[in-house]
Amino acid sequence: MTCMARPQLDSWLLCATPRSGSTLLCGLLESSGVAGRPASYFNRRGLHDYSTSWQVSEGAGGRISAAYVRAARTAGSTPNGVFGGRLMAESRPELIADLTTEDDRPAPSDLELLRLHFGRIRFVHLRRLDVVAQAVSWAKSLQTHFWHPGEQVEPGAEAPHYDEELLGRLVETVEQFEAGWNRWFTEQRITPFEVTYEQLAADPLFVAHEVLDFLDLELDEGRRLVVRDRQQADHVNARWIETFKSRS
């Protein structure tokens, strides 16, 4: 396939949970120049900023409107017309509910509703096998307000400190999120392309190329994928993981 060939899809969504490596994978796929510009366009916390940037009105009550989705698809598409988006577990029910409210006639399923707004759509499911390590990374970010290099740290940050109760809650939350994804895929008869954080961390370029193959997208001649993010785990993560697992 060349850059002039018609892609075999219109959109794809990365279905993920916090601290699962989604930013790394999104950056890699954006650097392809053919897989859209995947980001969390449907996270409630970012709706106002995106709406302002795109000069589109938010739906009533701050909901995601059909006009907002159209603007997101424009912003999140590469020149070949492919849209890429990141959909976190907590945002999926909100997106479905908002789009259901927008439509005069209810779609027969969530998948049909998404097809109505996103066209020919495919799904990539990214999960982390070591849920404790994921919870540790999440807890550190919640405490320090540091999520990704280059981002501004919000006020109220704390020094990282071991909080077993917090870690336990986050482990449970991740497990609930993943159960929700799996249940939804089954209900909607969706077979996503499965990726694990562990695979991605070990060989990010290989995994990104596998995703592109799943999407039936090829790089333009001479184009190379770029790793824009780096692993943030350190000795603090390792110590917390060991401590939590020893007490579980």
Residue 170 within a domain: yes
211 assigned to some structural domain: yes
Is 71 inside any structural domain? Answer: yes
Residue 5 lies in a domain: no
Lowest mean pLDDT among 88-92, 125-129, 130-134, 138-142: 138-142
pLDDT value of position 78: 98
SS (H, E, C) 64-103: CCHHHHHHHHHHCECCCCCEEEEEECCCHHHHHHHHHHHC
Q: What is the pLDDT of residue 153?
A: 60
Q: How confident is the model at residue 106 (pLDDT cuts 50, 70, 90)?
A: confident
What is the CATH number for 102?
3.40.50.300
Taking residue 119's Cβ as centre, other Cβ atoms within 10 Å add up to 14
Q: In the chain, pLDDT over 70 holds for what percent of residues?
A: 93
Q: Is residue 115 part of a domain?
A: yes
pLDDT tens digits, 137-183? 999 988 987 776 656 666 767 888 999 999 999 999 999 999 999 99
User: Could you list the residue range(s) of the whole structural domain that residue 231 is in?
Assistant: 11-247
Question: What pLDDT shows up at residue 241?
Answer: 94
Top-confidence residue, 47 or 102: 47
**pLDDT computed for residue 149 by the predictor:** 62
| pLDDT at residue number 1 | 40
Query: Does 32 have pLDDT greater than 60?
Result: yes
N- to C-terminal Cα distance for the chain? 51
* Position 4 in a domain: no
Please give the pLDDT value at position 3.
45
Confidence check: pLDDT of 99 > 50: yes
**What mean pLDDT is reported for the chain?**
92
31 lies in some domain:
yes
Of 14-18, 61-65, 184-188, 241-245, which range is least confident?
61-65
Task: Please give the pLDDT value at position 18.
Answer: 96
Residue 215 lies in a domain: yes
**Res 27 pLDDT > 60:** yes
What is the tens place of the pLDDT at every residue in 39-94?
999 999 899 999 999 999 877 778 899 999 999 999 999 999 999 999 999 999 99
Q: Of 31, 112, 39, which Cα lies nearest the Cα of 72?
A: 39
Q: Is the pLDDT of residue 235 over 90?
A: no
Cβ-in-10-Å burial (0-12, 13-18, 19+) of 121 comes to middle
Residue 207 CB burial class (10 angstroms; 0-12, 13-18, ≥19): buried
Distance CA 197, CA 77 (A): 25
Identity of the residue numbered 21: G
In the prediction, which pLDDT does 158 show?
Answer: 84
pLDDT at 233 over 60: yes
Structural domain count of the chain? 1
Backbone angles phi and psi of 84, in degrees to 5: -120, 135
How many CB atoms lie under 10 A from the CB of residue 214?
Answer: 17
Measured distance CA(174)–CA(96) in Å, rounded: 20
